[in-house]
Each structure stands twice: as structure tokens, then as C-alpha cells.
Structure 1
Amino acid sequence: MRSNFRQHLLTTAVLVGATVAAPAFAQEAVPSIQGAGVSAEVDPRGADQDTGTIVVTGSRIQRPDLTSTSPLTVVSSEEFQLSGATNVEQVLNTLPQVLPGVTGFSNNPGNGAVTLNLRNLGATRTLVLVNGRRWMFYDTNQIVDLNTIPQFMVEGVDVVTGGASAVYGSDAIAGVVNFRLRQDLNGIIMGGQYNITERGDGARYNIDFAMGSDFADGRGNVALFANYTQRKPIFQNQRDFSRFAAGDGCIRPGTTNPDTGIGQNLGGALGTCVSRGGELGLIPQGSASTPIASLPSVTSPSGLGYIFNPTGGGVTPFLDPDNLYNFAPDNYLQLPQERYLIGAYGNYEVTEGVELFTELSFVNNSVPQELAPTPIGQSVNLQLASPFFNDQTRALLAPLDTNNDGYVTTNVGFRFNQSGPRNVDANRTAFRILGGVRGDIAPKLQYEAYYSYARTRNSQFQQGNIARSRFGFALNTSFDAAGNLQCADAGARAAGCVPLNIFGLGLADQDAIDYVTINSNNTEISELQNAVAVVSGSLFNLGLGAGDVGFALGGEYRRMSSQYIPDTFLASGDVAGFNAGQPTSGSYDVKEIFGELRVPIIEDGFIDLLELNGAARYSDYSLGNVGGVWTYAGGVNIAPVPDILFRGNYQRSVRAPNVQDLFGGNSTGFPAAQDPCSDRGPANTRTDAVRALCIASGVPAANVFTRAVQPNAQIQANFGGNPNLSEETSDTYTVGAVIRPSFIPRLNITVDYFNIKVEDVISTFAGGLNSALSLCYTVAQDLSNPICQAFTGLRNPATGALGETSGGGNPNILSANIADLETSGIDVQVDYNMPLGFSLFGNGESRVNFFYLGTYLDRYRSTAVASIPERVTIAEGSFSGNPLPQYRHTTRLTYSDGPASLSLRWRYFGKVQDFRIENTFSGLDRVGTDPALLVNPFVSEVNYFDLTANVDVSDNFTLTMGVNNLFDEKPEVLGSLQEQANTYPGSYDVLGRDFFVGARLQF
């Protein structure tokens, strides 16, 4: 009775929406070496197994073996279990091909998502599939959040290097990562896991449940699954390396800078400078090198930064590094998380050759962020007679009152500790439905068609922001008729303005704090519609002893839409604390046809194997500047003898611009910049060549290198997306060998060289306005160069100034197809398993499994402006952004005996150096930086060891326990090139020794 009830329950729950849900391409489990966790691809020819026909990730053609022309790494479900992973990122980020994107340690920057960055070419260039199909994305950049993938349902993950747009369409430039979920579940799986650090914090636990059943005499199967995950926070002050915020040196008394009269920045000469405390802070604009101080400040007439005494009234010059503000304690090191995930799938053979199938998924994921209280610094109007000042302060400020009206305008900074930390409640709700039909048309001919719809809604509620306009109103005071202090602006008074005393610690009235403190909201909504139909099978045989020619032919339709909806505070820019943002909304679609051929020519002949394959796709985008695009691929497998197979592959791939690239909210801004044609730039750039270029670009000769060209420190310009973008293109070459020596049974070795070059990379034009001006006038020095086109014809003919506020035109600093990326290297995989011929437990025989996966990074080059190729950034072996060691590996050794196994994993992350050592320029000359001038120029290699024990307590119950980072390796403290928490938390272990225990019951 219970069995029948379970079948009816599952059937009803899943097949309610079967006619509108959709299919996956036939994707069978890719077998891995038992106990290896991760494996190289294995050709089962000659092995004692019958795999039938399968579909290998990177192709839609069913085939009898696993050998692919593209490098393929297979991560098995056992690896997630042995690693103690609660989310898929914890395993994938250990693979040498993967560099961390946004992770569970990404607080600032961060957005609550987890992203995948293959080959460090960016999450937008890594295509993520689930069961061979596109998954839901979460934002205007059309990126997949890995938090939406049920880790406990993963049967395996296939990582394919290099472009695959001919097979899967746009975005597969760096490669494809395909998560294969369990299929045809027949029974119940229950499990859970608990993780906690040696220090007793950062607890993580998850509860998993799945049940499935066959029905209708095996003609159908339905399954339901659910997961609950919770992750507790760790703050940065809970670890020694991140307890104090670090910088690149201190301002020290007694080392007077003759230009400023205050202690000079000693850079790395005294090592990394850390913030020791303080309650308030700001960045005095009169001294650019002065670190954030713990007390409020003003800028004096001489341009020096002064801080107020804690009790208020008086000021002193900023000198003491002990005044540095320590913002670390208020920042998360590990972000909290709470996730609910449910899903279902089902299939039913209606009649012979017609099978319906469906997939449903729903996720609610909440990942808060927390930052230190809001710092603010801006120019404001101050009343000299304010009771908040003493005579010393009034005397200091009085020379700024040039019109003798009793008011001065100066830069004032403050950190709003009284408002409390900044918080973001990032809540993401996503669902996906998929349904379709598949079957056999003939014995060697199959079809499949499906439609999927996915929608994600992100809601971010921000607390602790400060309204810039209200800050200005609350500082601009006057006296009413009764002599009481009030806000000078009548409109602000009517809106509740209260005078704000920030000139000391804790002196502001709560009403004033409440007036300037605001909450803000933003929402993102993303949708993906995807319809695919494909026919595949065998055509004919060439008659040379090999298998049949295989093919796949199909069509695809995709529609992507996304919008970002900020509230008024964020959209207007009247916000300090979190980044402002402009509304973004857009959509586009693409219609595609594609085909593949696999041509076996020789098998077991005078050579063991010769096989050719090719693929092509034509994509017609609704975007005018993209339009029709061809992508294509071709490869060859050749095995002179059964022991070794050589392979090579070429792929032309594309990435169409996403919604953010195209429609990112356009706005006019006023960034600080230095026009090289004015007197604001460095004196050493005022050369005859620059003068001639300025005159040629429209600056009157008499005005060159004068203030008339740039009367203000800011230049008005236009920013945002660009609907005229075209696609990115990439060329990928891979050459390698698969070695399976017959004289060493069960040994598999693959060696593959990869070379990926991406052209017309979409990024902000030249990296921003100031960078564009510098590159045009001091580096390219050619008005025909694309980098100079942004300023052509825009200068005021009378003064030579740029920007509408100065009578010229606004430069367009929009998204542009302007950059290049290139990477190359070698991947090596080895897996081997050996029976030992004995058993300690007297139950079968014991076995040792060994796996190694390593990557040597030969080159990583990024050129911000392709038209200036000499200014290429060399990144391999350096850190700025993600650390890119030239060598890294992960390896696992497992001993298994009967019901028990013991496994040791070794993760090696190679040494790196400060990227400025190689990438400091003078014009086009690469001059480098002396390492002695840098705080932490070199970061040593690091070794992490993880130990796991696994026991099958019974046929139905498995217990797993282990410890990651066995020897408690800690990250080095870095200076200004850190990502956050004084290090790179995605690359280096920040938890320390970490224990886990998990259990799984299956029946």
C-alpha cells in the first residue's frame, strides 16, 4: 500500500504540468574511476563494461565511447561527498581550470550569488548547463547563480575547455560546465551534513531529501527532491589575518613632506599598515595620500586635512596612524545564507517512440551582506558662527569666507557610526519549468524537442545609507528669530531637517541622524525562454571497418530579458553607503540552426582509430549590430596504436552582448579626470607631441596646458550601455593526447594544450574617462586611433574644453568592443586504480585510487585597448583581481577496503607576485616597479591537505567525516591589491581547519 501511495503521489505532483515542461538531450552518466572523485575521460573500449551509446558534453551526437576531441574533466558525485561540500562552488573552485568568481566569502564586492569563472575569462564567458540545457540566470549580465543547483542531486560535472558555441550557442567562449543531475530515481534518499571550523564558528548544515518511483509497469518515472541549507556568518575580526584593515603603508609623524607639511606616505618601507581602531572616519581631500582617519575632518585653506578632537570644537592636523579607522570588524568574512530548494522531474512513455518529460525547480536563497558604517566626504556650506565650532576652528576656516557672509564652503568628511553598519538583505527567488517530448523515429534515428521558461527575481533591501542632499542641508545652519540653531534651507526644514553635529564623537542628535539616514531598495527581474528541437542518429558507414557516421541537426530559439529597478535614492545618485545605479531594461532574441557530424574512418585497421568531427551554427540575433553570426568547429582523433590517441580541435565561438552591455542605464556623470591638454595633469606629460595633438584635436594654441581647457576638476561625460555593440569572437585551439598503456592496466593519462584568444571584448570604454584621456594623448598620440575618437569634434572652439558644462560636447564613455583577452597553457590529468590483492576487513579486496589534475598557465594577456597592443597586461603568475599562479593542481589518493575508505586530497596553489612588478608603464614603455617599493610583492605557494573517511555502515546507510585544511594554513596579509579581508578569500582558505560529518540513508 505504501509503495502504491508513493507512486500515485509522485505521479500526480510531477505530471500536473507535464505538457508545458521540457526535456534534456539524452545524457547518460559518464562513468568515473571508482573512488577517484574527479577523473580524466576514459575510453571503455576493451574494459569490462558495456556503456551502450551516450552523449558526451560538448556534442549532441550519441556515441559508443567517452573520448572527446576537446579536453574534458569529469567530476563525480563522490567528490562532493568526500570534500564535505554544501554548495557546488566548494568543489569546482578547487579545479585548476577554474578561478573563483563571486563566492560565499564575497561581502564587498559581492551580491549574494556564486558564479563560475573558467580560465579566468569571466563568468559571462563561461556557459553553465544542467543536464545539457541552459539554466536560469539571475541578473542583467545573464550569469548563472550556482546556488540554484542542487548539489546533492549532482551525479557528475563535466568541464569542457574552449569554445563550444557551434554546439550550444552564445557564451561558451571559455568553455562549458555541465551539471548532470540524477535521473530515474527509484527509492528514497535522505541525508544531511554539518560543518564547523576548529574555532567553533561558521557552522554550515544542510538537509536533503529525494524520492522517486517507476510507474505504469516501468514506462514512467517521477521524482521529487528538496534541500534546506543554512550557513552561519563569520566576521573579519574573528581571524587574526583579517582583524585589522590593511593598506600600503602609513603616514608617520617626523617624516615631513615638503609639499604638504604633514607626515608623508612611506609606502611599503614600513611594511603593511593596518587600521587600529577609531569610531568615525573620512578621507580628507586636501591630502590624497592620507588614509581614512578615525575622526571627522575639514579641509583648510591651505588644502591640509584636519581632524576634530573627540570632544568636538577644536581640530588638529592628521598625523597619527593610530587614527586609522578599522572597518574590518563590521564586514563579513563568511556570508550567512539560508536556502530552500525544491524540484521535480518525470518522464512517461505515452506510446512507442513518444516519451514526455518534464523538469521543475524552485529556489529561494537569502544571502545578507554587512559593511562598516557609511563614510561620506563632500563639499558643504558651513556657518562660521555655528555653536559646533570653537574659536580655533573659526579662525582656521575664516579665510575661506571670501565674500564675508559668515559662511564657508569646504570639504567635510564623517563616518556615521551612530547609524550603525550598512546591511543588505539580498533575497533571490527563482523558478524554472521545462517540458518536452523525445523518442525514436527509426532504429538509428532519434528526436527530441523541449521548451523551458525560467524567471529570477532579486530583491535587495539596503539599510544604513546616507542621503547626500540631506547631509548638506543638515550641515548648512542658521539662527532663527529666537536665536535657536536650525537648518538654513526652509524646504529642508519643512521636510524634517535637524542640524547635524558631526564635529566630534557621538555628538549628533538622534533626530538628525534619523533625518540623514535612509533605506533603499532595488529589484532585478530576469527571464529566459529556450526552445530546442534536434534530430540525431546514424547516417551510413564508410565501409572501412569503423562505426557509422553520426549526425545531429536542429534549431533553437532563445529570448533573454532583464531589468534592474532602483528606487529614487539609488537612481538619482543621492546616496552614500552603497553604489547608485540607473534603471536598466531590455530584451532580445535569437533564432538558430545547427548541425554536427562525427565521421569514423578507421577503427582496428592499420591504425587503431581515425575519426573526424565538425559542427556549425548560424545565429540570427534581433540586435542590429550582431545580426547573423556563424560559429563552427572541427576536430580529429587519431590513434596509431590502442595505447595512445592524439586529438586536436579548433573552435570559433561568440558571445553576444548581454542586457547590461546593451541597455545598462545611461547617465551623465562628473568624474574626476585630468585632461592632458590642461595644466591639471602631470608636468612630465606636457611635451611638444602632446601640444601638437591637443591643437589638432581642437584646442586653441594659446590655451594648451592652461586652466581654460579644464576649468573644473571634473569633466562631464556620458556613461552606460551601448545598443550598438557587436559580438565578441574567440578562436580556440586544443592539441593533446590520451594515453592508456596496455602494459599498465587501469592507468589513464591525458595531456592537452589550450590556446584561447578573445577579440572585440566588451568593456567600459578604455576603462573610464581619465584612462581614455591619458591613453589617447600620452600613449596612442594618433587622432585616428579609436581611443581618440571619443574626443574628436567635442572641444569648445573658444577654450578647447570638454563637457557640456564647459561649452564643449560630452565624451561617450559607454560599453564598447575595445579589448582583447588571450590565455594558453597545458592541462595534465592522471588517474589510476590498483587492486592490492588483500582485505584488512576480509570483505573482498582493498584498492588504491589515485587522481591528479594540474594546469600550467603559459600566458594570460589582457589588452584594455586593442588598438594599443603595446599596453598589454601580463597576468600569469601575478595577482590583481584573481591570483593567477603559473601552476596549480589538485590530487587525491584513496584507499578503500570493503565498506570503508580513507581519502587524502592535496590542493596546491602556486606562488604569485604583485602585478605592478611587470605592468607599470611610462607611455608605451614597460618600466616595471621595484619590488622593494611594494608592501607584499610576493606571495608564496600554499599547500592544503584534506582528509576524509567514508564508511558504509549498512547497505542503506553511509557515514562520511573529514577535515579540510588539515594543517590550518592561513593566507598572507596583502596591501591595497587585496580583494577583501586583506586577501583573496575565493583563492585562499580563510576558514582554517574545518571539520564536517555527513550521513546518507538510501532505500
Structure 2
Amino acid sequence: MKAFLGRAGWLSGSGSALAVAAVILCAGSASAQTTAASADETPEEQAGAGESGDETEIVVTGSRIERAGFEQPTPTTVLGNTEIRQAAQPNLQQVLNQQPQVRNSSSATTNAASTNTGVASVDLRGLGAARTLTLINGRRFVGDNNLNFVPTNLVERVELVTGGASAAWGSDAVAGVVNIILNDKLEGIHLGANTGISSRGDGFRYGFDGAFGTEFAGGKGHFMIGAEYLRDKGIGTTGFNDRPWFGAGLVTVPGSCINAGGLAAPCRELRPGVPNLGPLTYGGTVLSGANAGLVFNNDGTLRAARPEDAINLYTTINVASPVERIGSYARLSYDIGNATIWVDAAYGRAKTNQSFIIDPADAVLVSVLLGDNAFLPPQLAATGEPFFVLGRYSRDTFFTRLDATRETFEGAVGIDGTFGNGWKYSAHFSHGEVDTTELLLNSSIPGNFARALDAVQTAGGIACRVNADPDPTNDDPACVPFNPFGEGNASQAAADYVRGTQSIFGTRKLDSAGIELQGDPFSTWAGPVTVAVGAEARWEEQIQDNGALDKLRVPDAHGNPVSIFGSPLYAEPLNGGFNVKEAFAEALVPLINGDQVKVELNGAARYSDYSRSGGIWSWKVGGTARLFDSLLLRVTRSRDIRAPSIGELFNASGLAIREAVDRDPPAAPGPGYDPNPMVRVTEGGNPDLVPEISRTWTVGGSFTPSFFQGFSLSVDYYDIKINGAIGTPDTASITADCAAGDTEACDRITRDPVSGTITDVRATNANIASLRTNGIDIEAAYVLPMSRVSNMPGALRFRALATYVNELVIDGVNKAGSVGDIAIGGIPHWRGNFSATYQSDTYGLDLRIRYVGGGKFDASQPNIVNNDVGARTYVDLGAQFKVADKFTFFGNVRNLFDKDPPLVVQLGGFNYDSVGRYFTAGIRLDF
């Protein structure tokens, strides 16, 4: 499913800006541009400086131009093996989630009750993962940018382009680009094993990896292969017991408050351990008649309700999803003259099998039962009442289970070469497929459930009324009577009759081809003009089918055909696709090339012709000015595009359970009306989408003073505006639009006919959103080879990154500073990381401090009396020891002081660590 989506601090008080500034001042920065080891450093010093994979010059991803000394104007941050190792995460995506520019919108904790479990994508700037273009070695890959398929042990570095880059790389690069560079020059044999567990004894995981690389044919050829396996068992529902921040809720308290519209509203307070399913219990609650309020024991007898009977929906859902993943990659290359021919192949698989959610269609049972029900307990039968209402949360029958497997295969062939006077060319073709199988077991079938509940006593025993009726046309021979009184009293046969398995089987395909040429056609007074031109084409297709039960239809109350399932996820088979043909050009024009001043102009343009929506332009213009060899100033202006993805166009419906905000309440609500109910939200694709357009400014610079060798500092301002953005509206927006007279929005809402409470919302994709964000990125680093100050070997490396988000405006609502889990799309104003690393040939030590700013739990609900959330500071420690020059043992403690996150109302912690202290240990072998 897609969503469109303490008082802490290392210094006293909650001053976020002060805390982040302290990190910068005490540490320093790595330039956001091309990085190279200093020519006057010793080999040992260079090794220390290059610990993050930057000991040789890096051509960054923000541009197509590859030229020594080129400092492109688009800000770029480089992460190498230092950052990957320090994070000690189960996949590369969760390493990136801890970077200040990335919002944790998808992870094991945030996907715990989502059919997206197993997908690990990156969300730069909090603008949605679909607006971040993810590449491997500069090429697109199939599979929703799922980094579960990428073997982390082969990653040399990751480049984060934090500005618009559509002109260089095409659609999706609105928020930026994540380019994963694999080590295609690998030599030797490398093996590894690791394991991890939380301090609470859950979240156990283990993994193995291996890689091999060698040259042949006198160095002309090279072959490498690598693979990684990881099994993460996740954290089940028992994980709530040791994490008191889960299961919180908003309760009404005395007082007079003001809502977001400036009107009087009930005061609400955030409290831990708040039941949110009202009178429902696992065994069942009598809701009407003489016995109203009594609850059922497991043996079917009645008793008075107890406080421990109250239920919170989210305590029945996993804290973190389990996943088993495999990622592998192989490459063969061979030099022929001035060209290198290469072939690579990749295989990956991500699988999850977990308890999911309790199907709300029939699990939240509020049924009218007749007084002659054959299972009726004597105490109820004695009242003589013709009917009564039962409320029951049926986890014994309708606790669904998600069994999902995503498997990818991809192959590519290409050539890179040179000719003439420094001209370079490259061409490639790739084909990839992702096969997806999803099964949702124990899904309710309301028609069967209604017949099974209506059980009567016959001469032959208890039977369904439809089969006891003399009219044979009403018979349902498969019907098995269902006993709803008390948990676990229904027979297995009855349970099997009232539920079934929803299923989907899909294949997504991506074919991609590209050709590029770069050279210096002429020179100006300031030096050579470099141009890069090329063409690309992509063909994307999705084929998706459903199981036999998913295709069955029954008439609803109005005679319209509907799914037999109460909460249908996979409504219709799908078959769709599109193609795009593109041409691009980029130029680097030097304007001034003096001893103390160097100025360059960089521009790019791309024309994209989409088969579904026609042609569209994207462009970028920028410039850099280097002053006195230590100060670099840069600015870019770009027009970026994002065409709808194959999933946004054709994806089948997905289901989520969320709290709704009803901004269009009924004029005369019925008894039991709830303005903030838990509802089923159905999300899915829309083939009529058109591309969205964004405009981006970046202005900044970097400082690398010659008088302070090894230090660098960069600061960049960004501003991104998107119109006609593709997204799924939240319930508050849909109900507000309905109240304003939007009939299409009203058609998305289903209400209970008696109370008027919202029960279902259809939030399919549409070009309805407007997005705007702006802020500042700060990066600093300092490398100190120990030989400069002592006789110790190795080097000290300090690095700090921080991002201040001034605005993240979604449909007119500023989400920046809303940090609670119910604030959909919310993001802290400040995030920052500081790391200090000592590394020698034999051992290394890591200290990392992660800062997450506070804010309002939900700024859109100012009537929450305890709305203020303090900042959090997390401390991580790591160590590595090398033995016998081949064995390296390592360990890591994440969240050393077990810092609690803010209270969690729904699921997971988008912005904060919701798991707690976590230990990782392992071994690496290098031959």
C-alpha cells in the first residue's frame, strides 16, 4: 500500500538549533562535491582519509559530465563503508533512513500492518519514495526501487543527490537521486556472518554474505560475484509488553480548547495504554437487553466486565515485520582495445510470512442474534428477548496472515569506451522482472458468516437455518454453524467456512536502453567546453491476476456486484504498461579560469515522450564559482518531472487501517457516532494520471581552508515546489473536500447507515496534491591522521550532517514540526548525525550520535493539551578487531541508553527509534 502520504538533547533544554550547531562546531564536514585524497598526504594519511570509500576521485551523480576537477553545482552527499558499518542495519535502505535528508517512511516497523512489507525504498525530503530516483551504477532497476534486493556487502558507496536531477537522469528525480555504486573491481574472497537481537530478547536476526572477484587474461578481464542472505524474525505482538510507548490514545479531558480552524473544541490528552475498540472484547460483549455490559468467558458463560478486557487495536499487530531476503549480483567485463564490454546479472528475493491484522469486516462483530440461536447460553435464553446485539473482536477466527514473496531477475549488457581526442561513449540494454505473490489468509466472507451465525436446533443437531428451512432453494450444503460465544468455541470447520484466502500474482517488467556520448568539441578563453548527449528508452509493464475467490461477486443491498470478501484487497486483474523515449544534453562551459577565481556554467535539458501522456521538458541551469582555492559557491535552478509510475497507474487496491478525521459530520448523527473512528482505507492505482512538475532552487557552498588541512564544511539551501502531485489523500482531506461540495470526494466515503460514522474510505491515486518544501543541509568533516600528532597508527575521522526542514507543505498544511505517528507525512524541523571514528590496520572504534528534533505531536490538532514533543538523542557504539590479518570481529550497540520514543498511537515510529536498544555482532574473513 502507498500513503501520501526528550526533552532531550545533548545540551540542556530542547533547543534543536543549538544542539545541531554544537555538533557542527565540534566536528566539522565532508564536502558535498567531488572528493579526492590530498596529493601531499602520505599513503597512510590517504588511507585514513579514504576510509569511506573516497580515496580516489569520485565522479558524483548530480551530472552526466565526467571530467577531472569538475565541481557540479547540485549538492551531493557521499556515504561509504564507514556510515554503512556504523549504522549496523539489516539492509541498505535502513542505513539511508538514518540520514538527515531521508524520511523513514518505509521500514520493518512502519510496514508492520502493510502489504508493502518486504519493500525497502528511500524517501528523500519526505516527499514520498516515488519522488526519489534510485539507481545502481547509474542505471535504473526493476522493482519499486526495493533495496532489499541489493547485496550490501558489494556496496562501495552511496551518492545522495539532494536537488532536482530530472534533466540528467529522467523522471522521479524530483527530490533527488540515490545512486548505489557497487565495487566492480573486487579482488579476492570475502566472507561474513552477523547476528543481532534487541535488549528485550526479540527482533532476532542473522545473516551471511560472500563475494569473490578476480582478474583474468592478463588483467584484461574481470569477474566478480557476491550474495547476501538475511533472516530477520521481526518483533511480534508480545513486543508491546516491554515497550510502554505503544498503544497510546487520545482521550477527552475537561477544559476549553481551540481546534485548527480557531473554533471551540473538546480538549484531548495523549495517554499511554488507551483501549480504542470501545466495549468490544475477545470473547464477546452483550451490547443490548437485560444483560448489556456482560462479557463472555472462553467457556461461553457470562460475567461482569473487567478493566483488562478492554482492547487496543494495535496491540494485536506486530511491532516489526519479519523478512527473509536474498540479494546477489555478478559482473563479467573484458577490455578490447579502448573499450570495455560488460555483462551483469542480479537476483533477489524478499519474503515475509506474518500475522497481519484482524479483518475488520467481521472480526469487529456487532451482530443481531436471534433469541432462538442454538448456541445461546442459558442466561441469555432465559430473558426471552427475541434478539440481542453482540460485540466481539474475533482474533480466533479472522486474524489474517500475510504471506508475500517478491522475486527479481535482471540482466544487462553494455559497452564503455573512448575514441579520438578524449571522447567517451557508453551504451547499455537491460531487462528485469519482479514476480510478486501475496496471500492474505483468514479473510472474512460476510455472506457465509451471516449464514453460519444463524444456527438453530434441529432433530439432527445444530444446523444453519438456511439448511433447516423447508425451502431447498435456500440451502447452502457447505454451511457449518458458528458458535460466537467466547473465544475459541467455533469449530475448525465453521472457521474454514466463514473465511478464505485472498491472493494476487503479478509480474512487473522493465526494459531499458541508453546511449551516451561525451567530449570537448571546442574551447573558450577559459578552457574546454564539455558536452554530454544521449538517448534513452524504457518499456514498463505490469501483469497481475487474482485468485478464484477474489473474482467471485455477490449482490450487495442495492443489487450491485461486490466481492465476496468483507475487506477486499485485490479486486480486479490488471494488465497495463507504458513506454518513454528520451533525449538529453548537458554542457559545462567555463567562464573564468584564473589563479584565484574559477567560474563555470552547467546546463542540461531533457525531452521525454510518454506513450500515455505525451511529451514534456525538464531542464537545469547552474553555476559554480571557486574563490581563492578554498571557497566554492554554487546555485542551481531546475524544472523536474515525475511521470506516474507503473504501480501508481495500475496497482490493485491495498488496505490499511487508520484513524479517520471526519470534517464532514452528519447533520443529524445517530447513536454511537464517532468523529475519529478506525476505518478501512483502500488505496490503489489510477490509469488517468498525468505527470507532475516541480521547480527547484538550490543555493550554497563549501569551504575547504588550506590553513586547516583535512577540514571541510558545506551549507546548502533548497526549495522544491510541486504542482499536480500524485498522491493518495488522507481521510481528513477527503471529508473536508466533501464538505466543500466535491461530489467525487463524497463518493470515496462509506458511512454506517445508523450512526453515520465513517467505515470505509477509498483513497486511490490522483493528481490532486500540491507539495512544497524548503530547508538547509549542513555537512562538515575532519580527518586527522594520527601521525600528525603522535606515533599512533591510523586516523581519526569526524563527520556531521544536519538538515533543517523549514516547511513541508502538503495541500496547504505544513507538516514540518509535526512529529507524532498520527501526523501523516510529518517530519521534524531538525535531524542530525555526528560520528567519530578511529581506524587503524588492526582495530577501530566508532561513536555516533543521532539527533531527532521535537515539535508538535500533531500541529493540525492544537486541542491536544500535551501536544509538545521533546527532541531525542541516540548514542551508538561500535568496535572492530582484526586478527591474523584475515579475521575481523565487530560489534555494535544501537541506542545505547535505550532512549524511549514519544508515545505511539498507531504503529511504528516514522521519526524515532521505536524498537529500543539493539546489539549486533559478526565476523568478516578476507582472503
TM-score normalised to structure 2 length: 0.82
CA distance in 2, matches of 1:445, 1:673: 60
Equivalence map 1:414-429=2 (5 Å): 414-419=392-397, 421-429=399-407
Instruction: Measure how far apart 1:334 and its partner are.
Output: 3.2
Closer, same or farther: CA 236–970 of 1 in aligned 2, 3 Å = farther
Counterpart in 2 of 1:596? Answer: 586
**Quick check: 1:965 aligned with 2:915?**
no
CA distance in 2, matches of 1:719, 1:233: 25
Instruction: Measure how far apart 1:481 and its partner are.
Output: 6.2
Amino acid at match of 1:891: F
SS in 2 for 1:367: strand
SS in 1 for 2:696: strand
Closer, same or farther: CA 578–251 of 1 in aligned 2, 3 Å = farther
Counterpart in 2 of 1:130? Answer: 136
SS in 2 for 1:460: strand
Q: Is the 8 A contact 1:36 1:79 kept in 2?
A: no
Counterpart in 2 of 1:517? Answer: 499
Equivalence map 1:304-323=2 (5 Å): 308-310=295-297, 321-323=307-309
Counterpart in 1 of 2:921? Answer: 997
Q: Deviations over 1:693-728 (max 9, x none)?
A: xxxxxxxxxxxxxxxxxxxx9xxx999643332111
Larger relative contact order (Cα-Cα within 8 Å, sequence gap ≥ 6): 2
Counterpart in 1 of 2:641? Answer: 654
Counterpart in 2 of 1:272? Answer: 272
Counterpart in 2 of 1:618? Answer: 607
CA distance in 1, matches of 2:232, 2:107: 13
Amino acid at match of 1:499: P
Closer, same or farther: CA 292–244 of 1 in aligned 2, 3 Å = farther
Counterpart in 2 of 1:630? Answer: 617
Q: Is the 8 A contact 2:375 2:483 kept in 1?
A: yes
**Quick check: 1:751 aligned with 2:715?**
yes
CA distance in 1, matches of 2:494, 2:252: 33
Amino acid at match of 2:328: I
Equivalence map 1:746-895=2 (5 Å): 746-764=710-728, 767=730, 772=734, 774-775=736-737, 777-778=739-740, 787=742, 815-837=765-787, 845-863=793-811, 872-879=813-820, 880-881=823-824, 883-895=826-838
Instruction: Measure how far apart 1:208 and its partner are.
Output: 1.5
CA distance in 2, matches of 1:575, 1:413: 20
Once the two structures are overlaid, the 10-residue window that deviates more, 103-112 or 90-99, is 103-112
Q: Is the 8 A contact 1:297 1:307 kept in 2?
A: yes
Q: Is the 8 A contact 1:249 1:266 kept in 2?
A: no
CA distance in 1, matches of 2:787, 2:57: 33
CA distance in 1, matches of 2:483, 2:37: 80
CA distance in 2, matches of 1:611, 1:125: 29
CA distance in 2, matches of 1:997, 1:666: 40
Q: Is the 8 A contact 1:884 1:912 kept in 2?
A: no
Instruction: Measure how far apart 1:471 and its partner are.
Output: 0.7
* 1:83 maps to which of 83, 87, 107: 87
Closer, same or farther: CA 75–309 of 1 in aligned 2, 3 Å = same
Amino acid at match of 1:348: Y
Q: Deviations over 1:761-794 (max 9, x none)?
A: 1234x646x954643544xx6xxxxx467789x9
Counterpart in 2 of 1:930? Answer: 863
SS in 2 for 1:368: strand
CA distance in 2, matches of 1:239, 1:791: 37
Counterpart in 1 of 2:282? Answer: 294
CA distance in 1, matches of 2:461, 2:484: 21
Counterpart in 2 of 1:451? Answer: 429
Q: Is the 8 A contact 1:487 1:497 kept in 2?
A: no
Closer, same or farther: CA 413–812 of 1 in aligned 2, 3 Å = closer
CA distance in 2, matches of 1:370, 1:791: 33
Q: Is the 8 A contact 2:588 2:603 kept in 1?
A: yes
CA distance in 1, matches of 2:611, 2:184: 36
SS in 1 for 2:83: helix
Counterpart in 2 of 1:197? Answer: 198
SS in 1 for 2:765: strand
* 1:385 maps to which of 372, 382, 385: 372
Counterpart in 2 of 1:704? Answer: none
Equivalence map 1:320-469=2 (5 Å): 321-325=307-311, 331-349=317-335, 351-371=336-356, 373-375=358-360, 376-377=363-364, 382-389=369-376, 393=380, 412-419=390-397, 421-469=399-447
Equivalence map 1:110-259=2 (5 Å): 110-137=116-143, 143-238=144-239, 240-242=241-243, 246-248=247-249
CA distance in 2, matches of 1:496, 1:767: 40
Amino acid at match of 2:448: R
Closer, same or farther: CA 216–397 of 1 in aligned 2, 3 Å = farther
SS in 1 for 2:495: helix
Counterpart in 1 of 2:852? Answer: 909
What is the Cα-based RMSD across aligned positions, in Å?
A: 3.9
CA distance in 1, matches of 2:837, 2:56: 29
Closer, same or farther: CA 883–645 of 1 in aligned 2, 3 Å = same
CA distance in 1, matches of 2:703, 2:887: 37
CA distance in 2, matches of 1:901, 1:719: 48
Q: Is the 8 A contact 1:38 1:79 kept in 2?
A: no
Q: Is the 8 A contact 1:650 1:732 kept in 2?
A: yes
Q: Is the 8 A contact 2:693 2:724 kept in 1?
A: yes
Instruction: Measure how far apart 1:322 and its partner are.
Output: 3.0
Amino acid at match of 2:189: I
Q: Is the 8 A contact 2:236 2:320 kept in 1?
A: yes
Closer, same or farther: CA 551–332 of 1 in aligned 2, 3 Å = same
Counterpart in 2 of 1:896? Answer: 839
SS in 1 for 2:448: helix
SS in 1 for 2:627: strand
Q: Is the 8 A contact 1:241 1:972 kept in 2?
A: no
CA distance in 1, matches of 2:358, 2:334: 57
SS in 1 for 2:148: helix
Amino acid at match of 1:726: V
Counterpart in 1 of 2:547? Answer: 567
Closer, same or farther: CA 237–599 of 1 in aligned 2, 3 Å = same
Q: Is the 8 A contact 1:826 1:856 kept in 2?
A: yes
Q: Is the 8 A contact 1:241 1:971 kept in 2?
A: no
Q: Is the 8 A contact 2:801 2:834 kept in 1?
A: yes
Amino acid at match of 2:700: G
Give the fraction of aligned pairs with identical amino acids, expressed as a percent: 30
Closer, same or farther: CA 492–594 of 1 in aligned 2, 3 Å = farther
Closer, same or farther: CA 436–576 of 1 in aligned 2, 3 Å = same
* 2:531 maps to which of 548, 551, 554: 551
CA distance in 1, matches of 2:653, 2:911: 34
Unaligned 5+ residue runs, structure 2?
A: 1-26, 47-54, 254-264, 552-561, 672-676, 754-760
Q: Is the 8 A contact 2:505 2:545 kept in 1?
A: yes
Closer, same or farther: CA 838–727 of 1 in aligned 2, 3 Å = closer
Aligned pair count reads 838
Q: Is the 8 A contact 2:329 2:347 kept in 1?
A: yes
TM-score normalised to structure 1 length: 0.76
CA distance in 2, matches of 1:116, 1:397: 61
Once the two structures are overlaid, the 10-residue window that deviates more, 185-194 or 307-316, is 307-316
Amino acid at match of 1:849: R
Counterpart in 2 of 1:528? Answer: 510
Amino acid at match of 1:293: T
Instruction: Measure how far apart 1:179 and its partner are.
Output: 0.5
Closer, same or farther: CA 641–492 of 1 in aligned 2, 3 Å = farther
Q: Is the 8 A contact 2:331 2:345 kept in 1?
A: yes
Counterpart in 1 of 2:554? Answer: none
Q: Is the 8 A contact 2:72 2:602 kept in 1?
A: no
Closer, same or farther: CA 390–196 of 1 in aligned 2, 3 Å = closer
Q: Is the 8 A contact 1:245 1:326 kept in 2?
A: no
